[in-house]
Amino acid sequence: MTEPTFVDTNVWVYAVDAADPAKRKRALEATAPAPGRDLVVSTQVLTEFYAVVTRKLAVPVSVEDAEAMVRQLAVLPVVAIDASLAESAIAASREWQISIWDALILRAAEVAGCRRVLSEDLADATTYGSVVVENPFANTR
């Protein structure tokens, strides 16, 4: 059995954003279906992804296409953000001195049993609780 990997919003966004071809390539490699690769997201990732790709890209994705992409991502295991998870993330945010949004990602990863989070938003190779952050773009130029 393989360990699941949590994938943060920014990785999924780079996978559809043509503005940075090197990061897009890395994101597509990191999220491509592969034997032994179990990817996990959260409701936060789904909603952030939709908001970013429809509003913040140089060439935004249509709302219809973005909705279809969210449906595709929702096929993966999805951690729901509930009150308990929010409270845990608030405590983690204070303890680790990170944003509440990053803490929610890390706590959702822990709930899903992930030991690894792919993200550009947190320091590469940093451990938070039982989760290690891996920046798939660390060596991208």
Q: How confident is the model at residue 37 (pLDDT cuts 50, 70, 90)?
A: confident
pLDDT at 89 over 90: yes
What the chain holds in terms of domains, given with CATH numbers, is 8-134 (3.40.50)
Q: What CA–CA distances, in Å, run from 101 to 43, 61, 121?
A: 12, 23, 10
- pTM for this entry: 0.95
* First and final C-alpha spacing in the chain: 34
Taking residues 114-132, report their average pLDDT.
96
pLDDT at 54 over 90: yes
